[in-house]
C-alpha cells in the first residue's frame, strides 16, 4: 500500500518575495549552509550600489538569490540541477556528455530565473 507520504512535495516552501529578509528566511529553510555566502554577496552588492550610486547591484543580488532559492525550494528541479552539475564537474570537457550536462544546467537555471522574474 502506498501513501501520500511517499510522494515528494513539488515545493518545499512558497516562493519568497524579493526582499532581503524574505530571501534570507527562505534560504535558511532550503539551504542554510549557504547563508554566509548570501551575506557576503549582500555586503558586496550594497557596497557596489553605494560606490556606483546605482541600485543595479542590489537588483542583481535579488535575482541571483531568488533564482538559487527557486532551484532549492523545488525538489525535482534541484535534483535534476544537481545531477547535471555533478556530471559537468566529473566529465572531461572533451566528452560530448559534458556539453549536454552544461546545457542542462543552463536550461534549468534559466527556468528558475524565469519563474522569479516573470511574476
Mean pLDDT per 10-residue segment, the chain (119 residues)? 62 96 98 98 97 96 98 96 96 94 97 91
Cα–Cα distance, 14 to 39 (Å, whole number)? 21
Q: How far is it, in rounded angstroms, from Cα 92 to Cα 42?
A: 34
Angle, helix 56-73 to helix 20-30, in steps of 10 degrees: 30
Q: What pLDDT was estimated at residue 119?
A: 61
Backbone angles phi, psi at 31, to 5 degrees: -155, 65
CA distance 46 to 58: 6
Give the total residue count for the chain: 119
Q: What is the pLDDT of residue 9?
A: 81
DSSP 11-55: -SSPPPPSSHHHHHHHHHHH-GGGHHHHHHHHHHHHHHHHHHT-S
Residue in this structure with the C-alpha cell 559537468, named with its chain if needed: 88
Amino acid at each position: 500500500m502506498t501513501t501520500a507520504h511517499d510522494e515528494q512535495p513539488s515545493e518545499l516552501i512558497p516562493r519568497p518575495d524579493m526582499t532581503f529578509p524574505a530571501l534570507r528566511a527562505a534560504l535558511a529553510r532550503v539551504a542554510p549552509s549557504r547563508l554566509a555566502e548570501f551575506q557576503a554577496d549582500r555586503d558586496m552588492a550594497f557596497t557596489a550600489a553605494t560606490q556606483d550610486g546605482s541600485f543595479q547591484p542590489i537588483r542583481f543580488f535579488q535575482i541571483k538569490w531568488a533564482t538559487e532559492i527557486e532551484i532549492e525550494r523545488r525538489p525535482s528541479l534541484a535534483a535534476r540541477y544537481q545531477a547535471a552539475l555533478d556530471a559537468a564537474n566529473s566529465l572531461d570537457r572533451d566528452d560530448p556528455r559534458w556539453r549536454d550536462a552544461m546545457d542542462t544546467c543552463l536550461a534549468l537555471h534559466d527556468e528558475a530565473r524565469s519563474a522569479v522574474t516573470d511574476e
